[in-house]
Amino acid sequence: MNMLLLSLILALGIYALLSRDLLHSVIALSAISMLSALLFTILRAPDVAITEAAVGAGVSTVIFVWAIRHTQRRDKEES
């Protein structure tokens, strides 16, 4: 179970770095926070799970969406 969640987190991380549209990467980062919160609950750490869920899916996503809105949404060049 741990291995499945960790491999999903790794796949989403690599997708977030290679995607052309920056908004898709932000949603992938938010999904990484949610999967991490689930993994922390399985590993018996409820305080860290509540903090990661509230901070990663709430505040961090709002800040990223604000930054993308005031700059460009598409990546114009190659990596």
Residues that bind other proteins in the complex, under the rule CB under 8 A? 2-3, 6-7, 9-10, 13-14, 16-17, 22, 25, 29, 32-33, 36, 39-40, 43-52, 54-55, 58-60, 62-64, 66-72, 75-79
CA dist 74 and 65 (Å) reads 13
**Nearest Cα to 56, choosing from 22, 21, 26?**
26
What minimum distance in Å lies between the beta carbon of 3 and other proteins?
A: 6
What minimum distance in Å lies between the beta carbon of 76 and other proteins?
A: 8
CA dist 6 and 77 (Å) reads 30
